[in-house]
Structure 1
Amino acid sequence: MQLIALDPGHFHASLVHREQYPGIDTTIQVLAPEGKEVAQYLQEIANHNSRASFKENWTTEIFRGPGYLEQLKACRPASIVILAGNNRLKPGYISAAVNANMHVLADKPMAIDAGGFNMLKTSFETAANNNTLLFDVMTERYETRNVLQKAISQLPELFGELLTGTKDDPAVIKKSVHHFKKTVAGKPLIRPVWYMDTREQGEGIVDVTTHLVDLVQWTCFPNQILNYNEEIEIDNAVSWPTTLNLQQFNAVTGAESFPAGLEKMIDENGLLNVYANGAFDYTIRNIHAHIAVQWNYEAPAGTGDTHYSLLKGSKAWLYVLQDKEQHYQPTLYIQPVSNDKKYINTLHKQFGLLQTAYPGIELKQVKERWEVIIPDSLIRKHELLFGAVMKQFLKYIKEGRMPEWEISAMLSKYYTTTQALLKAKRLTGD
């Protein structure tokens, strides 16, 4: 089986190549338009080849220029198309790939608007008819704190039942903060110019929120088939811009000027308004949830991207949060509804069940909460999570099918985000 890198415009495209996989050809077909994005991708492949763990280097067969998408038809059927780049183009790329009898592993998001979502639905139908699979890269499912938060929520004696919450007091909250200017693997990350154009990248309310909505579904309704038409409703939504001056835009993209086509995004002060921020409240199977994402230009010194997660149970609330006391490292807490002796005994007994599955984790009382101490041996860097997703996808391909709950989860997720976008635009009049 061969990997096909189709228009690899985001650095995530190369992260599945940090390791190699049994049964996967080490020659990668690269199909892309001319540009510095594909050059950066090829450089990352060269960097990966320096790994001592590789028995054989990745090699590339490259087609660059007009007609790159048509080249899919000449590639080996049932290959795996890797997508990470311009989000506006993804629904069309996915459609082309499944019609060429290819599997697709796509970086999020698969769709950034209602039209893209409709194309995605059709692609799932085509893939089913062609016995090929579509999968999106949900790395956050493999982040240890998220894994443990889910595992704890599945212990009724410890967590109780998930509360339903209300619109004003949701039972599930997922929030994250990100930064345009950042360093990856010790080097400044240069983003494509189109990354700052929400018509190409998508607004924030449909981008990173993909991970957050996925975690809500995956954690609260594990292995369950969702019916988005009947079980999901957007209650309210809002979006707002991050402003960048030309100097900041240059630091992020390397471009010396704002490109043509972005005039409507530039205000009277000469600042680029990037609608990268969004929040929405929704109900899913009568559970009230709140999702929020924010993008800043740059993180304060000594900090970085942050993630906040709260699940409210009838016996305990589960938090993942970052604060100065923990040096901005994400920390998982259990906050009992009642800290009486009987519950504390139950807490330790139930936690012991997790220690068998996750060796080295410990409990530490911090005021009214209990911190879950996670050893470094269980923590995996973000870059390594892409390989975990790839292995899961290869497992599904080997089995010849994907669980129905996975397909319903993807459709429900993109229905949620694209409907939230529509709601936000109706409220602002855009």
Structure 2
Amino acid sequence: MKYAKFNYLMVFLFALSCKSPSTENDAKIKLITLDPGHFHAALVQKSMYPDVDSTVYVYAAAGKDLDQHLEKIEGYNHAAENPTHWKEEVYRGKDFLQRMIADKKGNVVVIAGNNHFKTAYIDAAVKGGFNVLADKPMAIDAANFELLKTAFSMAADKKLLLYDIMTERSEITNILQRELAAIPEIFGSLQKGSPQQPAVEMESIHYFYKYVSGKILTRPSWFMDTSQQGEGIADVAVHLVDLVQWACFPDQVIRYEKDIQLNSASRWPTAITLSQFNAITKSNGFPDYLKKDVKDTLLNVFANGEINYKLRDVYVKVRALWDYKAKAGGDSHYAVFRGTKADLVIRQGADQDFKPSLYILPSVSPANLFAYEQALNDKINVVKARYPGIELKKIDKGWEVLIPEQYKNGHEAHFAQVTTRFLAYLKNGNMPAWEVPNMLAKYYTTTQALSLAIKEGELKKNGK
């Protein structure tokens, strides 16, 4: 059955032990990897961490997903540079969730895999007394959002940490865009915008065919099923919604009940040929559960979406896009913050050699431009003090922020940075007060946007 292991999960949720994993006599953090099916689970272990035990306990059903995960860990252990020394203790069986909770061999569960099960896994792990580090998305639809709310409430009661992996906060251009937006002399204040020209726009383009750790990534077949992976509007868009909250309202609590107003949302598919599907999944034909999405021999994956909404009183637009393979470069990111004195823009196209670049484009009048440049050169020193080596380069309509290579450590390295941040929170016994409400806010935004997009699509289809 397509969701057989989900049935094991639902039965077991009624019989969870309330005993928490003990760490009183062991200062080490012990990791558990639960049902790994996405390469992000392995990337958490591309680095070693102080105070984290080198033995990792893996619980999953036997199969290709598990085998590929273990191969990646083995590859990191034998890397030419900075090899790791993880030891994987693996339990293979359909009752892997029950065994994980009964065994209680670790205190942090890493969850990155089939998103159809993820929210229920999170809920089960928290009920079992484990801290959870989960890949995005934590919830792919409105029903799972309700379950996620319960999990967060339960984690608070049990004094456990539940945290998602937001790697884009560690990308240097995103960091500097946030820093500059907080300097009134450079940015002014964030405009309110309008539905026609939002104050904040972000777009992320991803590709099914890509390289990870120097090798062509093999994706599981279920990754192409949006009922298991989630649609783009509820998956990749999570990063964008998170960045908007994190950068535009830094360290502030966002309450989804009053701070978010959805205006419109849309979704559309990426068409994948059978040969393309076979190339990225190492399969030999579409599995039965994907036949529902095949039309005229093409697999239609609803991986693209757009959300238009208001965050407090600021108009925002985010777009998540997927294509099969990049003609040049790789995944890319575009973002603009419109301020009263300047726009802060990230571009990652051919002109940037497909590497993210940050620009300051002033919007002051020509008469005030000289004074603005003086203020910019003065206040940029605040940023330089935090990030030595940062410089400004004059361009036609403003300035490019020149960023030393030492800060450009790449997407894969960001997983270690997020994990390190999570481990620090764990050691301190808490997270910043805004993290949990803001996680709920972003998943409310994406899951409600998906519901709205489906509804608007049906109305359009019926000519209403």
> Same fold by TM (over 0.5)?
yes
Q: Following the alignment from structure 2 to structure 1, what is the Cα–Cα distance between the partners of residues 194 and 103?
A: 51
Compute the TM-score of the two structures, normalised by the length of structure 2: 0.90
Give yes or no for the alignment of 1:361 onto 2:390: yes
Q: Following the alignment from structure 2 to structure 1, what is the Cα–Cα distance between the partners of residues 259 and 213?
A: 41
Give yes or no for the alignment of 1:144 onto 2:144: no
Report the alpha carbon displacement of residue 14 of structure 1 after superposing the two structures with TM.
Answer: 0.8
Question: Contact 1:190–1:252 (CA<8 Å) still a contact in 2?
Answer: yes
CA RMSD of aligned residues (A): 1.4
Give yes or no for the alignment of 1:291 onto 2:357: no
Map 1:99-138 to 2 at 5 A: 99-138=127-166
Q: 2:437 is matched by which residue type in structure 1?
A: S
Compute the TM-score of the two structures, normalised by the length of structure 1: 0.97
Give yes or no for the alignment of 1:226 onto 2:251: no
Map 1:168-179 to 2 at 5 A: 168-179=196-207
| Residues 141-193 of structure 1: CA deviation (Å, up to 9, x unaligned) | 01000000000000011110100101111000010111111122221111000
Q: Following the alignment from structure 1 to structure 2, what is the Cα–Cα distance between the partners of residues 34 and 241?
A: 32
Question: Contact 1:241–1:275 (CA<8 Å) still a contact in 2?
Answer: yes
Structure 1: runs of 5 or more not aligned: none
Map 1:211-222 to 2 at 5 A: 211-222=239-250
Report the alpha carbon displacement of residue 55 of structure 1 after superposing the two structures with TM.
Answer: 9.0
Report the alpha carbon displacement of residue 56 of structure 1 after superposing the two structures with TM.
Answer: 7.2
Q: Following the alignment from structure 1 to structure 2, what is the Cα–Cα distance between the partners of residues 23 and 206?
A: 34
Report the alpha carbon displacement of residue 76 of structure 1 after superposing the two structures with TM.
Answer: 3.2
Report the alpha carbon displacement of residue 52 of structure 1 after superposing the two structures with TM.
Answer: 7.1
Question: Contact 1:78–1:132 (CA<8 Å) still a contact in 2?
Answer: no
- Matched position secondary structure for 1:110: coil
Distance 1:49 1:205, change over 3 A: same
Q: Following the alignment from structure 2 to structure 1, what is the Cα–Cα distance between the partners of residues 290 and 44?
A: 32
- Larger CA deviation: 319-328 vs 9-18: 319-328
Q: Following the alignment from structure 2 to structure 1, what is the Cα–Cα distance between the partners of residues 215 and 76?
A: 15
Q: Following the alignment from structure 1 to structure 2, what is the Cα–Cα distance between the partners of residues 46 and 262?
A: 32
Question: Contact 1:77–1:102 (CA<8 Å) still a contact in 2?
Answer: no
Residue in 1 that maps onto 2:363: 337
Residue in 1 that maps onto 2:13: none
- Larger CA deviation: 336-345 vs 243-252: 336-345
Q: Following the alignment from structure 1 to structure 2, what is the Cα–Cα distance between the partners of residues 331 and 395?
A: 30
> Which of the numbers 370, 389, 400 marks the counterpart of 1:371?
400
Structure 2: runs of 5 or more not aligned: 1-28
> Which of the numbers 5, 15, 18 marks the counterpart of 2:46?
18
Give yes or no for the alignment of 1:317 onto 2:346: no
> Which of the numbers 333, 343, 348 marks the counterpart of 1:307?
333
Question: Contact 2:31–2:106 (CA<8 Å) still a contact in 1?
Answer: no
- Matched position secondary structure for 1:17: coil
Residue in 1 that maps onto 2:305: 278
- Larger CA deviation: 106-115 vs 332-341: 332-341
Map 1:17-416 to 2 at 5 A: 17-51=45-79, 57-76=85-104, 79-267=107-295, 269-300=296-327, 302-338=328-364, 340-416=369-445
| Residues 61-114 of structure 1: CA deviation (Å, up to 9, x unaligned) | 111121001012233376110011101100110011001100000010000000
- Matched position secondary structure for 2:434: helix
- Matched position secondary structure for 1:146: helix
Distance 1:56 1:167, change over 3 A: closer
Report the alpha carbon displacement of residue 361 of structure 1 after superposing the two structures with TM.
Answer: 0.9
Question: Contact 2:205–2:320 (CA<8 Å) still a contact in 1?
Answer: yes
Question: Contact 1:182–1:188 (CA<8 Å) still a contact in 2?
Answer: yes
> Which of the numbers 25, 28, 34 marks the counterpart of 1:6?
34
Report the alpha carbon displacement of residue 270 of structure 1 after superposing the two structures with TM.
Answer: 1.2
Report the alpha carbon displacement of residue 323 of structure 1 after superposing the two structures with TM.
Answer: 2.7
Q: Following the alignment from structure 1 to structure 2, what is the Cα–Cα distance between the partners of residues 98 and 377?
A: 38
Distance 1:385 1:56, change over 3 A: closer
- Larger CA deviation: 405-414 vs 183-192: 183-192
Residue in 1 that maps onto 2:18: none
Question: Contact 1:78–1:103 (CA<8 Å) still a contact in 2?
Answer: no
Query: How many residue pairs are counted as aligned between the two chains?
Result: 428
Q: Following the alignment from structure 2 to structure 1, what is the Cα–Cα distance between the partners of residues 238 and 55?
A: 31
- Matched position secondary structure for 1:169: coil
Q: Following the alignment from structure 2 to structure 1, what is the Cα–Cα distance between the partners of residues 188 and 281?
A: 48
Q: Following the alignment from structure 2 to structure 1, what is the Cα–Cα distance between the partners of residues 439 and 445?
A: 10
Question: Contact 1:20–1:54 (CA<8 Å) still a contact in 2?
Answer: no
Q: Following the alignment from structure 1 to structure 2, what is the Cα–Cα distance between the partners of residues 105 and 316?
A: 37
| Residues 299-335 of structure 1: CA deviation (Å, up to 9, x unaligned) | 10x3211100000110110000123222222110000
Q: Following the alignment from structure 1 to structure 2, what is the Cα–Cα distance between the partners of residues 219 and 128?
A: 26
- Matched position secondary structure for 1:18: coil
- Matched position secondary structure for 1:393: helix
Question: Contact 1:175–1:212 (CA<8 Å) still a contact in 2?
Answer: yes
Q: 1:348 is matched by which residue type in structure 2?
A: N
Residue in 1 that maps onto 2:26: none
